Amino acid sequence: MLVLTRKKDEAVVIGDDIEIIVSEISEDKVKIAIKAPRDVKIFRKELLAAVEDENLKSADMSDLDIGKLREAIKK
């Protein structure tokens, strides 16, 4: 992992076409701006973790009650 120190309006460039700019600094938050091609997907890590967790929960069939499922389908 690379750790850098940046001030407001300073930037980091990744590859040839991704730029991360520190746009605002407050007491406990740093606002960043990301310039990247439209085909580059950018997600907040905590959202990806939440989606992954929900996908794992929905794939878990340990609590599946086949009897209740059959009744629900009949209705």
Domain positions in the chain:
11-74
For residue range 52-71, list pLDDT tens digits in order.
888 888 777 676 777 777 88
Beta bridge partners of 30: 25
For residue range 5-47, list pLDDT tens digits in order.
999 999 999 999 999 999 999 999 999 999 999 999 999 999 9
The residue whose two tokens read 């996908």 is: 55
